[in-house]
Structure 1
Amino acid sequence: MANIKSAKKRIKVIAKKTARNRMIKSQLKTAIKRFEEALKSQSFDDAKAKLRFVDKKLKQAASKGVIHKSKASRSLSRLAKKFNKAL
């Protein structure tokens, strides 16, 4: 355990940031899962709306530094490819 005041503060700050990152990643995974379920159920209008939502969430996560910008682009590209293939 840290003894120095600044080190104790860093522990608090890191815990807060970790919780935020975990929340954002969880929201992202849920959004992707809902998109894939909509795609599986053949409701393409719903899937298109959910893909737009996933795009928004991926870009937000990348801008906040939770995931890398390239990972966001790669994930969106793969999801869009799935969507276009299903049509």
Structure 2
Amino acid sequence: MASHKSAEKRNRQATVQRMRNRAIKTRMKNVIRLVDEAVAAGSVEAAQEALKVAIPVIAKTGCKGTIHKKNASRKVSRLTKRVNNMQAAA
């Protein structure tokens, strides 16, 4: 239990930030899942549309510091590569 006023404030701030980060990460995971499902279904058109939605969400998550910028970049790169490989195969 925090006994200093500043420590109590940091606890409150950490709680709010943790909830915010959880919501942002959940949103990011959901858009990634939509891309993965479209790729698994073999739908090129749906995969491209899902990727267009996913890229800004992932980039924003990285820019806000919820995940590392390079982690966000890596996720975007891997998703893009999956969709492009699917296009080439079709």
For normalisation by structure 2, the TM-score amounts to: 0.91
**Aligned ranges 1:66-77 → 2 under 5 Å:** 66-77=66-77
2:61 maps to 61
Query: What is the aligned-residue identity percentage?
Result: 37
Unaligned segments of structure 2, at least 5 residues: none
- Give the superposition deviation at 1:44: 1.3
Residues 13-59 of structure 1: per-residue CA shift (max 9 Å, x gap): 00100111111111111110111101111221111111011101111
* Deviation >2 Å, runs of 4+: none
In 2: Cα distance, 1:84 partner to 1:37 partner:
15
Unaligned segments of structure 1, at least 5 residues: none
Residues 41-87 of structure 1: per-residue CA shift (max 9 Å, x gap): 12211111110111011111011111111111111111111111112
**Count of aligned positions:** 87
Letter in 1 for 2:51: L
In 2: Cα distance, 1:68 partner to 1:83 partner:
23
1:46 maps to 46
For normalisation by structure 1, the TM-score amounts to: 0.94
Letter in 2 for 1:14: A
- Give the superposition deviation at 1:2: 0.4
In 2: Cα distance, 1:38 partner to 1:78 partner:
15
**Aligned ranges 1:1-87 → 2 under 5 Å:** 1-87=1-87
CA root-mean-square deviation: 0.9
